[in-house]
Structure formats: structure tokens, C-alpha cells
Amino acid sequence: MNGADLVIRFLLDKGVRHAFGYPGGPVLVLYEAIHKADFPHILTRHEQGAAHAAEGYAKVSGRPGVIIATSGPGATNLVTGLADAYLDSVPLLAITGAVARSATGTDAFQEADITGVTQPVTKYNYLVMDPDELLPVLEEAWTLTTSGRPGPVLVNIPKDIMALPIDPDQANAAANTFVRHRPPVIRTRAMADQVYEALRHSRRPLLIAGGGCIIAPGGTDDLIQFVESLNLPVATTLMGKGAIRNDHPLYLGQLGMHGTPQANTALGTCDLLLAVGTRFSDRIIGDPAAYQSTGERVIIHVDIDAAEIGKNLRADIEIEDDAADFFEHILAARPEAYTSGQWLDWLTMLRSKRERYYQLKEAMYRAQSPLLPQYVIHQVAQALQGQNPIVVTDVGQHQMFVAQHFPVESPRSFITSGGLGTMGFGLPAAIGASAASPERTTVIFTGDGGFQMTVQELGLLAQLGLPVKILIMDNGCLGMVRQWQELFFDEHYSQSLLQNNPDFVKIADAYHIPAGLAAGPDDLNRQIGLALATRGPYLIHCILDPRENVYPMIPAGKMPQDLIMPGMDD
């Protein structure tokens, strides 16, 4: 057994059944081990695709996504995916090859200091220079991907270590020798009384459920029980979408830059903010200092990552805990004769806003040619209603439209690039997501811009034959850039118009993927029917009205009450 065999055996022992990667010189020995062990490796068409596919897989399954890439350019191509995973707390294990130890630092062929390059975008990374450390490093790296706040971990292995004979028994004995001290954390149990006391005095409370509520296993059941027991209104962040069902009477929708009027009103005027598993990014609160200084408000911040507490907003009650633990313990700690504060007026006001917004939303689902993006999303959502589809987006206008108009039916079913906003994320992530759950339909909405950034992964999709239905939201421009240029740059559409878009149906055809054009509502509805009746992948090229902008919208750096929503008069 050599180092490479040990790596593959390790992955198999961990139950890895999907690894996304791309071979190259310094990992040839590793690919020989893959061949010998008949290891389930999936060949993407670019390393960035491997990283996003692994993210999609991890986001749906909750298990670490595994990536394999070669040294130098192979590893640098992972950087965008690692940065994306780092910001969205996605567990990834990236294994990269490195030049032989004797050549390290000599600027050898395909050498790049990949631990240096990836240091700021990984939770942790390793360069294995001692063969005895190979297995302990892999064990620790695997644990780190999911422990605490999940994230990407990279293990860089020189090619001579891959080829070195390794005694498996000796390696096993050393497997768990890395011991890391972690300080005890402040758990919910000790703080529950304070939370209930704050709620007792509140008249206008709001719960924000962030991505942490999705990530923490089983977090959402207790969340729903908690809000129902207190009649507490709840809003989600983009990453928290799916934590509670869309038509729940206490759900206000998504908050932040393109969130709903009712959620943002609640955010702006609440007197108690209970935020769980969220980091108050600038897309949620544009001006933290102004937000903090206006209004009397008690902020309770629950997060597994203590460094997120107090980073953007100062909290009055800090609870370092994961979302699932928090909701479990807060429910258990509820005092027997507890009566929460009186906030019926508050709920009534928020619900009337919600009613008004829903009317405005309905009016957006107009059948016209060229198509309206809201209509396209609505029609697809209707066709898939009750089937618990996996919904994937790329980045830009269509991403926000999907977040607003596609009711996600369960946690881990809305797959999007939140923190980094990575164009090109969608297609490979959809393939990884579908690989994790091939019995469900995966639908991906992607822009004509983002789709062309990782379009080569159509080859992988055709090869796997997964049920991924692609909707290209073609408005002939980089829609979100165009929208900002229209609103804030005097309609100077600088480099945001894509005037020579290809025939996407022909591209799909070239990759042997069935496809059709939807220039208007009739085409669209027929194509949706065909897509869902077709086994495996299908692509619909939708021709959209390029003038359609995303509303509601809070301009960057503004307050929740600065929300713009045409037709919403109060």
C-alpha cells in the first residue's frame, strides 16, 4: 500500500461515494489508486466545476463534499469554489497533489504554493511533508469540515508521498494522534431564562432564521415548534430559505436587500431581534451602525461561531450554540406558567402588509412575450408543487427572483451562492445536488451570463444523465449589473449587454441534452411539460424581457425602511 492507496482507502472508509475531480501529473499515482479500488470518482470538465459540484452535493446531503485536483493550475482553479464554500459554511474536503518534496519551493513545473493561496479561504489547510502524518491529517481534516461551523479544508500531498510505501497498521495506530484543545462554549441552557425574560417584555419581536438553521441537523423541526408555541413571527435570510414552509402563518418571507416588505418592516421596527445562525451580512443589514443606533431594541444573537457574534452587530444576549441545540434547549427550558408578551397588533400589522405584497406578487405573474422572469419561475414552481424539488440558482437577478417566487418545500432544497455571489456556480452545483439525491427533480435557474461561465459541465450532466432541468433566463444582459446601472449610473449600460449570445438549444444539442426554446407563455408551458416528462436532463432557453427589475429592493447601505416596492403605498 502506498500513500495514494491510503488516501483512497480513507475516503472509502468514510463512506465517500461521490468525489468530484480532475487528474494531472502529480496526482497520477492517486488516479492509479482510484482505478485499482474502483473508487467512485466523477470527472468534471474543469476543477471549478468539481468544487461547485461538491458544494451542491454537500448542501443537499449534509455530508462533506470531496474534491480531487492536481497541483498548480488544478489547485488554483479550486480557489473560487473554496471561497464560496467558506462564506456559505459548506463542508468540503479538497485533496490536491503537490510537486515532490525535493522540488518544493523550486518553482517546479505546475508548482504553486496552494496552502498559501488558499489560506484565507479555507477553514484549515495542510501541506503533508511527513508520510507518518498523512492519515492523522486526513482524519483531522475530515472532522474539521463538519465540526462547529462547517467549511472547506484542503490537504495538499506531494507526489512522492503518494508513491511511498506505507504500512497500513502503523498508519492506523497514528490515525487520531492530533488532539486539539477547544474552549467550552456558552450553551443555551444557561441563557434560556434571559431569552424568555426578554420575550416577556417584548411587544414587537422577530425571529431571524439564517443558514445555520438549515445546516444544524434537525434544527428546523424545533424551530417551528418554538415559533408556534410563542406565536412568534419569523423571517429567513437567503441562506435560511426552506427552514419553514412558505405558507406558514407566522412566516414573513425573506428579509434583506431583496426581501419582502413585511419582513423588512419587522426588521426595521422590532423591539426584540432573536437571530439564530446568521451573521448579519451587509445584504441583511446595510448599515449596522445606523441600525444599532435607532430604536430601542434587544438583540439576541445565537451562532455556533463566536466570532460572528458582535462582528457586525453588538448583541445584548450572546449565545454560542448551534441552531438545533438552541431550539431544543430553549423549548425544554420554557417555564411552566409562561406567558409571552402581547404582540397581536404587531402580527396583524405584519400580516396585512403580507397580504398587500402577495397581491402585488400575483400581478407579476403575467403571461406575455417576451417572458417575465417571475412568470417563468411561478409556472415551474406550480408544475413541481408538492414534489419537493431541489431548486438551484446561479447569481444575479434570476437568483433573487427565484428566492422571491419559488416556494421551497424543505430544508437543504434551495441551493445558491449566498456570501460570495459566484456566477458560474449554478450548473455544476445542480449536478452535485442531483447526484446527492437523484430520485428528486432538480431544477436550476441560471442567467445567460453565469451559464456561460461553467457551460462545459453540460458534458458531465449528459454523461451522468441526472434529472436536472435547466432554465436559462436569457435577458441578453447581465441583469443585476444592468439594473444597478439603470438606477444608479444614469442608464450607462457599461459592458453589461450580451449581444452575441449563442443558440443555447444548439449548445444543449451538441452535448446530447434535449432542449427547447420558450419565446412566449405557450412555448414555456409546453416546454415545462416536456422537461418534466423527459427522464434525465432537459434545457429550456427562455427569452425574457430585459427591462424587468428586481423589486422589492433596499439600495446598498440603506435601512430596512428605505425599501422600494412599486405599488406598496405604506
Partner 1 sequence: MKPYHLSVLVNNHAGLLAKVAGLFSRRHFNIDSLAVGVAETPGQSRMTIVVNGDEQMVEQVVRQLDKLIDVLEIEVLPDQQSVQRELLLIKMSASPETRSEILQVAEIFRAHIVDVSHDSLTLEVTGQADKIAAFLNLLQPLGIRQVIRTGTVAIRRS
Residues marked active site are found at 47, 109-110, 159, 480
Closest separation in Å from C-beta 313 to partner 1: 11
Residue with grid cell 454560542, as numbered in its chain: 320
Using CB under 8 A, which of the segments 22-30, 32-40, 306-314, 560-568 binds partner 1?
A: 306-314
The smaller minimum CB distance to partner 1, of residues 311 and 356, is found at 311
Instruction: Check binding of 367 to partner 1 (CB under 8 A).
Output: no
Instruction: Check binding of 183 to partner 1 (CB under 8 A).
Output: yes
Instruction: Check binding of 154 to partner 1 (CB under 8 A).
Output: no
Using CB under 8 A, which of the segments 91-99, 227-235, 308-316, 439-447 binds partner 1?
A: 308-316
Instruction: Check binding of 127 to partner 1 (CB under 8 A).
Output: yes
Q: Is 231 left (phi over 0), alpha (psi -120 to 50) or beta?
A: left
Distance of CA 211 to the CA centre of its chain: 8
Instruction: Check binding of 306 to partner 1 (CB under 8 A).
Output: yes
Instruction: Check binding of 307 to partner 1 (CB under 8 A).
Output: yes
Secondary structure percentages of the chain, helix, strand, coil, to 5: 45, 15, 40
CA separation for the pair 293, 526 (Å, rounded): 53
Q: 244 vs 328, 358, 445, CA distance in Å?
A: 16, 18, 22
Using CB under 8 A, which of the segments 124-132, 213-221, 427-435, 465-473 binds partner 1?
A: 124-132
Closest separation in Å from C-beta 417 to partner 1: 21
* Close Cβ partners of 285 (under 8 Å, ≥ 6 residues apart): 256, 267, 291, 312, 313, 560
Confirm if 160 and 108 have CB atoms less than 8 A apart.
Answer: no
Using CB under 8 A, which of the segments 122-130, 160-168, 322-330, 333-341 binds partner 1?
A: 122-130
Instruction: Check binding of 96 to partner 1 (CB under 8 A).
Output: no
CA separation for the pair 409, 411 (Å, rounded): 7
Closest separation in Å from C-beta 128 to partner 1: 10
Using CB under 8 A, which of the segments 10-18, 86-94, 111-119, 495-503 binds partner 1?
A: 111-119
The smaller minimum CB distance to partner 1, of residues 189 and 311, is found at 311
The smaller minimum CB distance to partner 1, of residues 123 and 329, is found at 123
Instruction: Check binding of 165 to partner 1 (CB under 8 A).
Output: no
Q: 3-state DSSP call for residue 317? A: strand
Confirm if 209 and 223 have CB atoms less than 8 A apart.
Answer: yes
Closest separation in Å from C-beta 180 to partner 1: 6
Instruction: Check binding of 311 to partner 1 (CB under 8 A).
Output: yes
Instruction: Check binding of 119 to partner 1 (CB under 8 A).
Output: yes
CA separation for the pair 367, 337 (Å, rounded): 54
For partner 1, which residue of 287, 305, 486, 562 counts as binding (CB under 8 A)?
A: 305
**Does the bond joining 552 to the residue before it have cis omega, within 30 degrees of 0?**
yes
Instruction: Check binding of 201 to partner 1 (CB under 8 A).
Output: no
Q: How many CB atoms lie within 10 A of CB 293?
A: 8
* Close Cβ partners of 278 (under 8 Å, ≥ 6 residues apart): 208, 209, 210, 211, 212, 237, 239, 240, 284, 303
Closest separation in Å from C-beta 193 to partner 1: 24
The smaller minimum CB distance to partner 1, of residues 32 and 318, is found at 318
The smaller minimum CB distance to partner 1, of residues 128 and 381, is found at 128
Closest separation in Å from C-beta 164 to partner 1: 19
The smaller minimum CB distance to partner 1, of residues 83 and 515, is found at 83
Instruction: Check binding of 181 to partner 1 (CB under 8 A).
Output: yes
Q: Extract long-range pairs of 32-39: CB within 8 Å, 24+ residues apart.
A: 32/4, 33/2, 33/4, 33/5, 33/7, 33/8, 33/162, 34/8, 36/5, 37/5, 37/8, 37/9, 37/12, 39/8, 39/11, 39/12
Instruction: Check binding of 129 to partner 1 (CB under 8 A).
Output: yes
Instruction: Check binding of 168 to partner 1 (CB under 8 A).
Output: no
For partner 1, which residue of 200, 203, 314, 366 counts as binding (CB under 8 A)?
A: 314
Instruction: Check binding of 387 to partner 1 (CB under 8 A).
Output: no
- Joined grid coordinates for residue 341: 408578551
Instruction: Check binding of 535 to partner 1 (CB under 8 A).
Output: no
Residue 152 pairs in a beta bridge with 92
Kind and range of the H or E run holding 526: helix 521-533
Using CB under 8 A, which of the segments 65-73, 309-317, 332-340, 444-452 binds partner 1?
A: 309-317
Report how many residues bind partner 1 under the rule CB under 8 A: 18
For partner 1, which residue of 80, 115, 393, 454 counts as binding (CB under 8 A)?
A: 115
For partner 1, which residue of 4, 93, 309, 563 counts as binding (CB under 8 A)?
A: 309
For partner 1, which residue of 6, 7, 16, 144 counts as binding (CB under 8 A)?
A: 144
Confirm if 441 and 467 have CB atoms less than 8 A apart.
Answer: yes
* Close Cβ partners of 443 (under 8 Å, ≥ 6 residues apart): 380, 384, 389, 390, 391, 392, 468, 469, 471
Confirm if 88 and 210 have CB atoms less than 8 A apart.
Answer: no
Q: 3-state DSSP call for residue 67? A: strand
Confirm if 20 and 66 have CB atoms less than 8 A apart.
Answer: yes
The smaller minimum CB distance to partner 1, of residues 114 and 470, is found at 114
Using CB under 8 A, which of the segments 69-77, 120-128, 206-214, 368-376 binds partner 1?
A: 120-128
Q: How many CB atoms lie within 10 A of CB 335?
A: 11
Contacting positions for partner 1 (CB under 8 A): 115-116, 119-120, 124, 127, 129, 144, 180-181, 183, 305-307, 309-311, 314
